[in-house]
Amino acid sequence: MSRIGKKPVGLPSGVSASVSGQTIDVKGPKGTLSFTATDDVTIEVEDNAVNVTPRGKSKRARQQWGMSRTMIGNCVEGVANGVKKQLEINGVGYRAQMQGNTLKLALGLSHDVNFEVPEGVTVTCPKQTEIVVEGIDKQLVGEVAAKIREWRKPEPYKGKGIKYKDEYIFRKEGKKK
């Protein structure tokens, strides 16, 4: 039994969901998202909540049950409140700035990195050492933040690099004389 799949996804005020076949469309104040589930689960909207149930006792049906419920929950959260990831840049001379639809990163490389921001995501730089990635699609926002972080992951000795705001970097001790 999926502990996550058993819980219904509540629809806050201003958010509506409609099911057609295996596709659920969620509309809210921030926009519209849709999710297509596999044939292993059944999706029903009733009493301002979305219920997901498996269509059998196979292992795949139980896996898809919890995953489908989480994906629908992410869609509801995104159209109701939006999703935000914050990144911090640490290091001497490391900085970021937005120029149009391009994020320019100076990360100690021989060249500046130009990162094209995909559609559906907004990237802002309130300070030169902060990057905020926002959107309604949780998966896309996380993917963009991970791609930005990938350019210079934080290293364990001095902590230089791009890290998530709430991320803890395990620090190592340097060489001893």
Q: What is the pLDDT of residues 88-106, one digit of tens each?
A: 999 999 999 999 999 999 9
Q: What is the pLDDT of residues 44-81, one digit of tens each?
A: 998 899 999 999 899 999 889 999 999 999 999 999 99
Tell whether the model's pLDDT for residue 2 goes beyond 80.
no
Q: Please tell me the distance from the alpha carbon of residue 108 to that of residue 103, in angstroms, as a whole number.
A: 16
CA distances from 171 to 150, 165, 168 (A): 19, 16, 9
Closest CA to 115 of 143, 78, 155, 86: 143
Q: Please tell me the distance from the alpha carbon of residue 150 to that of residue 85, in angstroms, as a whole number.
A: 15
**Cβ–Cβ contacts within 10 Å for residue 59, how many?**
9
Under the banding of pLDDT at 50, 70 and 90, the label for residue 177 is: confident
Q: Are residues 103 and 156 in the same domain?
A: yes
Inside any domain, residue 174? no
- Among residues 80, 96, 120, the one where a domain terminates is 80
Q: Are residues 87 and 154 in the same domain?
A: yes
Q: Are residues 106 and 48 in the same domain?
A: no
Please report which helix (H) or strand (E) contains residue 80, including its range: helix 59-80
Inside any domain, residue 115? yes
Tell whether the model's pLDDT for residue 3 goes beyond 90.
no
β partners of residue 82:
none
Q: Are residues 74 and 101 in the same domain?
A: no
Q: Are residues 70 and 89 in the same domain?
A: no
Q: Are residues 56 and 118 in the same domain?
A: no
pTM score of the predicted model: 0.87
Q: Are residues 15 and 69 in the same domain?
A: yes
Name the amino acid, one letter, at 46. Answer: E
CA distances from 133 to 26, 69, 147 (A): 22, 24, 11
Q: What percent of the chain stands above pLDDT 90?
A: 86
Q: Are residues 88 and 156 in the same domain?
A: yes
Inside any domain, residue 109? yes
Q: Please tell me the distance from the alpha carbon of residue 167 to that of residue 87, in angstroms, as a whole number.
A: 9
Please say whether the beta carbons of 134 and 141 come within 8 A. yes
Q: Please tell me the distance from the alpha carbon of residue 32 to that of residue 17, in angstroms, as a whole number.
A: 10
Range of 10's domain?
Answer: 3-80
